[in-house]
Amino acid sequence: MDEGTRWLTAEERAAWLAFVAATTLLDGALDRQLQREAGMPLAYYQILAMLSEVPARTLRMSELADITQSSQSRISHAVARLERQGWVLRRPCPDDRRSTFAELTPAGLAALAAAAPGHVRSVRENLFDVLSTEQVGQLAAICRAMLGPLTADPDARPVPGACAD
């Protein structure tokens, strides 16, 4: 059954191992840095960051799930936690009463502002400071190429129908 499998070439294999190691370590490093210096995991930072860049600092739960590439269940649990911490506020949506708005509070914005410099420094140290300008462009092109199949791939969607237009 696997006679037809196209295994990886030596170059692909080397690239793959380096990719897995680098992304795993980078993720861990960023998570640890945030946890240590700001007391929040990377996933929560990303939620706060997304909310901060949007009009009225408010998004519907499902939009938040889409934009952070996570499942609705995860967002629901995470926002519940952030709400307990006073960083996010949940409000019903008047137009569609199925929907809920998540709004960044001033305290949440302050926590984000306090965490941001350290996070950016960490991203810089571990990624951009070791790449040439050319490599930054190459990386962006590579990632954009990956996004094609990934955004179409049913495997990549956390929740069926989460990306419905």
Q: Supply φ then ψ for residue 105, to 5 degrees.
A: -85, 165
Binding mask 37-66 for a second copy (x = CB under 8 A): ---------x--------------------
Is 86 or 125 the residue whose CB approaches a second copy more closely? 125
Count of CB atoms situated within 10 Å of the CB of 161: 7
**Interacting partner of 144 out of a second copy, DNA, none (Cβ under 5 to 8 A depending on kind):** a second copy
Extract long-range pairs of 93-99: CB within 8 Å, 24+ residues apart.
93/60, 99/60, 99/61, 99/62
For 60, phi then psi, to 5°, come to -70, 150
Give the residue with the Cβ less far from a second copy, 93 or 143: 143
Contacts with DNA by CB under 7 A lie at 28, 32, 35, 41, 43-44, 60-63, 65, 70-81, 90, 93, 96-100, 158-159, 161-162, 164
